[in-house]
Amino acid sequence: MTAIRQRYERLEAARQPFLDRARDASKLTIPSLLPPDGHSAHSKLYTPFQGIGARGVNNLSSKMLLALLPPNSPFFRLTVDDFKLQELAQEEGARAEVEEALSSIERAVMSEIEASSTRIAAFEAIKHLLVAGNVLLYQPDKGGMRVFHLDRYVLNRDPMGNPLEIITKEDVSPSALPIEIRELLESSDTEDTSQDEPVALFTHVVRRDGKWNVSQEVAGIPVPDAEGTYPLDKSPWIPLRLSRIDGESYGRGYVEEYQGDLNSLETLTQAIVEAAAASAKVLFLVRPNGTTRARVLAEAPNGAIREGDANDVSTLQVQKSGDMQIAFQTAQEIKERLSYAFLMNSSVQRNAERVTAEEIRYMASELEDALGGIYSILSQEFQLPLVNRLLLQMQKQKKVPQLPKGMVSPTIVTGLEALGRGHDLNKLAAMLDHLAPLGPEAIQKYMNVGDYITRVGTSLGMDMGGLIKSEEQMQQEEQQAMAMQTGQQLAPQAFDAMKEQMQAQQGTEQA
């Protein structure tokens, strides 16, 4: 047995409890995310009796995708070192030029994300994070991002949670391997020598000497040209976890926290569906010693007239409506709790005739606050490594210029910070609503409208450069308006003076 394969199987033991828990969660939500062990394309997956789990995971995944990778808006900013920024501030126009150049790089990175399959892979990864709590992303130098499920990789972290070692396992066709590897496989006597069956490709990524070292092997044979190194902060391998647990290499899924409710809802829904199917079955019973014959009744068409006694015929009934009502009410309560947990829109609005917009906004803010911890860990373990990796890729491809080391660094501006900006926007809107009864004159007198507009734009995450007039522009426009008004006022006086002067001139000439 090879060293990498042996190491992989040794780390599998530590991963197994997390994988079993993830498969249980997948069974109650989206069974195809993590199928049972030994599942193939020809085997059938379990079909849940309830759909609230799948609906909740898809709904929450969409919300998180929009928060982590917002469309048409950079989720990061390239910031300059504070000391260098002070030097640039002393040079006229230098700071504005630097900020404009950094802004163009930000837009180039976002265009690269939109042009590639990064968003599609990120959506799949977020669903795995919610269900399994762990997923591995691979961003190669060329091509789109790949997603490794929890059953296809193992890893080891240090006590601080930093990845130390990652090993992936892929089933590849022998025809996709280099010709020298295929020849060695055909001549070897290992278990992976069949030309029809896929072979296991192991990729070993280990942290050593301040950088990542990568190697690959198939059936104990090292893959040529597969060895390489990457900087620590720019590795193409990005292991993600939804929640951090001290001392554990793997995280826990969001679904796992509500697995009790999902299990209860699954059992109750199954009982309700089966009882409803039994209640829907119609059976007529005929008294054995009655005058009405069962055969005559069964063969009679609709609306026919036959001889018989109605007392001889009865309908079989379950008579469990009271018990079914209790099961239905319990299932509805569980469904409502799960709707709140997965931030479904129907759970925000209470069931009433009149619900104010402020009430909906307040409840929605409370629900979004529940994801604050998720955003904070993903901003450091997903967004920041992704930006660093994309910048390195684009610099190698000459799509963006080289950035000076230690001077420019990316800063995440979405996720948890976006939640804070959203609350600021709600407070600004509420403040203006409270000031509205005072009238526009009072607002104009006591409020700095320009600063209010700037704060609203910042809360919305907009680039305010060039959008709002500066104080100098407003002063120039006021001076121009005053000059035009003064000119309009002096024009009639000047015309009268000229007219008097012409009349006086004419009088002098006549004299």
Structural contact between residues 4 and 219, judged by C-beta atoms closer than 8 angstroms = no
CA-to-CA distance for 333 and 340, rounded, in angstroms?
11
State residue 203's pLDDT score. Answer: 92
Tell me the mean pLDDT in the region 17-38.
92
CA-to-CA distance for 185 and 200, rounded, in angstroms?
12
Q: Strand, coil or helix: what is 316?
A: coil
State residue 200's pLDDT score. Answer: 86
- pLDDT category of residue 415 using cuts at 50, 70 and 90: low
CA-to-CA distance for 260 and 258, rounded, in angstroms?
5
446, pLDDT greater than 80: no
- The residue among 54 and 450 whose pLDDT is bigger is 54
State residue 329's pLDDT score. Answer: 93
330, pLDDT greater than 60: yes
349, pLDDT greater than 60: no
CA-atom Rg of the chain in angstroms: 36
Q: Could you identify the residue written with the tokens 């006549």?
A: 510
Q: What is the pLDDT of residues 382-399, one digit of tens each?
A: 988 999 898 888 888 888
Q: What is the pLDDT of residues 245-261, one digit of tens each?
A: 888 899 999 999 999 99
Phi–psi pair at 37, nearest 5 degrees: -65, 135
Tell me the mean pLDDT in the region 84-88.
61
**Residues above pLDDT 90, as percent of the chain:** 27
Q: What is the pLDDT of residues 260-286, one digit of tens each?
A: 999 999 999 999 999 988 888 888 899
Structure tokens at 450: 């320009």
Residue-averaged pLDDT of the chain:
81
CA-to-CA distance for 498 and 215, rounded, in angstroms?
94
Supply angle C-alpha 474, 477, 481, rounded to 5.
Answer: 140
CA-to-CA distance for 410 and 383, rounded, in angstroms?
10
Structural contact between residues 394 and 147, judged by C-beta atoms closer than 8 angstroms = no
325, pLDDT greater than 80: yes
- The residue among 165 and 428 whose pLDDT is bigger is 165
- pLDDT category of residue 421 using cuts at 50, 70 and 90: low
Cα 390 from chain centroid (whole Å): 19
State residue 94's pLDDT score. Answer: 58
**Residues above pLDDT 70, as percent of the chain:** 78
Structural contact between residues 45 and 330, judged by C-beta atoms closer than 8 angstroms = no
State residue 393's pLDDT score. Answer: 87
Tell me the mean pLDDT in the region 46-50.
92
Tell me the mean pLDDT in the region 81-87.
64
Task: State the CB neighbour count (10 A cutoff) for residue 367.
Answer: 18
209, pLDDT greater than 90: no
184, pLDDT greater than 90: no
Nearest CA to 407 among 156, 92, 167, 84?
84
State residue 142's pLDDT score. Answer: 80
Tell me the mean pLDDT in the region 503-508.
66
CA-to-CA distance for 369 and 376, rounded, in angstroms?
12
Q: What is the pLDDT of residues 458-498, one digit of tens each?
A: 666 555 556 666 667 777 878 887 877 776 665 566 656 66
Alpha helices in 412-470 (DSSP H): 416-435, 440-446, 449-459
- pLDDT category of residue 331 using cuts at 50, 70 and 90: very high
CA-to-CA distance for 265 and 261, rounded, in angstroms?
6
Phi–psi pair at 343, nearest 5 degrees: 55, 40
Q: What is the pTM of this model?
A: 0.75
Task: Please list the residues that pair with 200 across neighbouring strands.
Answer: 171
- pLDDT category of residue 34 using cuts at 50, 70 and 90: very high
Q: What is the pLDDT of residues 108-137, one digit of tens each?
A: 888 888 888 888 999 999 999 999 999 999
CA-to-CA distance for 226 and 168, rounded, in angstroms?
14
Q: Strand, coil or helix: what is 93?
A: coil
Tell me the mean pLDDT in the region 85-112.
70
Q: Strand, coil or helix: what is 65?
A: helix
State residue 335's pLDDT score. Answer: 92
From first CA to last CA, the distance across the chain in angstroms is 129
